Structures are given as C-alpha cells and as structure tokens.
Amino acid sequence: MLRKPAANIPIDVVRTVVAIAETGSLSKAAARLNLTQPAISAQIRRLQGIVGGELFIRGANGTMLTELGKLALQHARRILESNDQLLRLCGSDLAPVLRLGMSQLLAPLLFEDLKRERLSNVFLLAERANEIQRGLTEGFIDVACLFLYDRYQPEVDRMIVRQAEIDTCWIKSKAFVLSPGAPVPLVTHPGDEWIVGSLDRAGTGYRVIMSSTDSAARLSAVRAGLGITAIPSPALPPDLVKAHDYYLPKLAQARLVVCKRDGLSDPSAEQLISWLWQLFGRFVGTDDCIIAPAPAIVPCRSTRGRSG
C-alpha cells in the first residue's frame, strides 16, 4: 500500500531544522526551542521521512547539513519568514530576528563598543570568514561583516553593500626573536594562501609550526612566542606588536566588507548595516570609509595597534 504524501509540514518541525543548522547541535537546538533532545530527533526523523533523505550528518565539528539539508534549510527559512510576517500582520508583537555573521577577528572589536540594545533582535554567529561567506550564499546569514583577502569573489562581491581597503601586518609577541638564518616559524590556518603566498613569492624560508581554524588559538600561540602570523591591522591585540623585521615581505591589503544576503529588504537590516559601518569605520581610522558603497573601495590606514 502506498503511503499518502504529507499535506503540510508543521511549523515546529521547520523551526527545528533552522535551530539545528544555526547551533550545530541537537542538544543546543533542543535548549533553544525548549524541547527535549528525543523530541528534536523525532521531528527530524519525521521531516526526513517526508523529504525522503537525510538532512543532517554528525561530524567532528558537530551536526552538519547534507546537500539535501542545505536545500531544505533554504526553504525552511523562507517558510519561517513568511510565517512570522503573517503573525505580525495579525497583530503579533513577534520581532524579526536578524542573523549577523562576523569573522572571528572582528568579534572582539564589536564587543569593545557594544550596546546591548543594538543586538536585542540579532542572532550573532562568529566564525571563519569562509563559513560566513557560505552562510550568505546559502541564505543562512542575513548580514555579514568580515575581512576578505582575495581580490575578487563573485558570489560574495555581489552582496557587498559597504567596503574599504585596510592595512595588514605581521605580528609577534614582544619577546619574540628569530635566530639568524632560521626559517620563519609560522602560525596560520588550513588552506591559507594569503600569508604563505606572501612568503613564497618573496622566497622567504618558513616552517608552519601551528595551523588552526580558531583565531583565538592562533593568537595564543603567537603570545606564547611559538611564531608569527599576519592579520588586518585593526584586529591587532594590545598585548602583541607589529613585526617590522627585514626578512618579512610586505603584505597585500585586505578588504573590510559588510554584506547583505540577496532578497533582504528589512529596514532593521539597513539600520544594523549603518551602525556596523560606523563602528568599524572608526576602528580603521577614517570617517571616509563610512560612506563607501560597493563596488567603490576607499583605502584606509589603521591608527590602531602598536609597533615593535
């Protein structure tokens, strides 16, 4: 006997898909939705039975979306947006929640001048820049603020609403000293081409002594004197210093960008973008950056950080 197709998908099941995707964990999704983990698992099994395939897989970094799950997430977000808009038309005081993605190096700068009410209706995701980019293209993130090191990235560049060029720098601990003739001990991240490529093009010898996706871990390694790394100048922590050693090549500038996902027309998103750009425009050291829309790029020189 053929099973009768589902006539509709309960909105609670749709919210569960989005919650798991945003938190990367069944237990965290359960806590957010005030459900038990078995209830979350049952909802996912129910939806997987409807769509005919697995939506999530468990990996070393948590629960991840399958290709089918990525497609389901895009539709789930549209369903929730329509559902919440209809509730507001009916007089509900439900406030829209914007999903703000931010690269890990920018998050500390945000928290330095954070007024809590600014993010009262914002879900903040601090991750690697490539994860934020993926979230934008998949509709997982509404607004993003991040550093870009590649000169042209079509999928992301078309969503840029503000951008400026900023200086970058080599950094080290105050006590770090390199032995003459020794390869440069390098702290970097998997898939890095910006830092390693600069040394390769200059013919400078180096040895990767640490590779991590976690920017905080990389900075801790530099603080411990294990090696040096490179970052955008505004992100230089006050307890580290710029490295001006003769053997280090000049680094290409990075781009500080604010992006908005395709199709987003929420006035609160525009307010968030304006506030973010004013905040980070101040960090890069010139008010001219605040008014620069894409694709124009305004060169900025940071006045932040120490040299040594």
Task: Tell me the three-class secondary structure of 151-190, residue by residue.
Answer: CCCHHHHCCEEEEEEECEEEEECCCCCCCCCCCEEEEECC
- pLDDT, position 230: 96
182 pLDDT higher than 70: yes
96 pLDDT higher than 70: no
168 pLDDT higher than 90: yes
- pLDDT, position 258: 93
- pLDDT, position 21: 87
Confidence band of 245 (pLDDT split at 50, 70, 90): confident
109: closest CA among 241, 295, 284?
Answer: 284
Mean pLDDT of 60-67: 84
Mean pLDDT of 76-81: 82
Mean pLDDT of 93-104: 76
69 pLDDT higher than 80: yes
Q: State which amino acid sits at residue 224.
A: A
Mean pLDDT of 156-183: 89
Mean pLDDT of 164-189: 90
Residue 250 and residue 76 in contact, taking contact as beta carbons nearer than 8 Å: no
Question: How much is the mean pLDDT over the chain?
Answer: 81
Which neighbouring-strand residues pair with 59?
62
Q: How far apart are CA 239 and CA 92, in angstroms?
A: 48
All domains in the chain, ordered by first residue: 11-89 (1.10.10.10), 98-161+254-300 (3.40.190.10), 168-242 (3.40.190.10)
Mean pLDDT of 26-43: 88
Could you tell me the two tokens for 128?
A: 């690697």
Q: How far apart are CA 114 and CA 143, in angstroms?
A: 17
DSSP 211: E
Could you tell me the two tokens for 48?
A: 């997987």
- pLDDT, position 304: 39
- pLDDT, position 150: 75
- pLDDT, position 298: 43
If one compares 208 and 263, the residue with the highest pLDDT of the two is: 208
Lowest average pLDDT, out of 6-10, 74-78, 205-209, goes to 6-10
What is the number of other CB atoms lying within 10 angstroms of the CB of residue 188? 22
- pLDDT, position 156: 84
Which neighbouring-strand residues pair with 231?
169
Residue 18 and residue 47 in contact, taking contact as beta carbons nearer than 8 Å: no
Confidence band of 6 (pLDDT split at 50, 70, 90): low
174 pLDDT higher than 60: yes
pLDDT digits (tens, 9 = 90+) for 198-241: 999 999 999 999 999 889 999 999 999 999 999 999 889 999 99
79-93, 208-222, 261-275 — most confident range: 208-222
When computed from its CA atoms, the radius of gyration of the chain, rounded to whole angstroms, is 22
CA angle 88, 91, 94 (to 5 degrees): 45
- pLDDT, position 35: 86
Q: How far apart are CA 123 and CA 211, in angstroms?
A: 29
- pLDDT, position 212: 92
Which neighbouring-strand residues pair with 260?
143
Q: How far apart are CA 152 and CA 130, in angstroms?
A: 14
Could you tell me the two tokens for 111?
A: 């928290």
Q: How far apart are CA 47 and CA 217, in angstroms?
A: 38
Which neighbouring-strand residues pair with 184?
206
- pLDDT, position 25: 87
If one compares 41 and 293, the residue with the highest pLDDT of the two is: 41
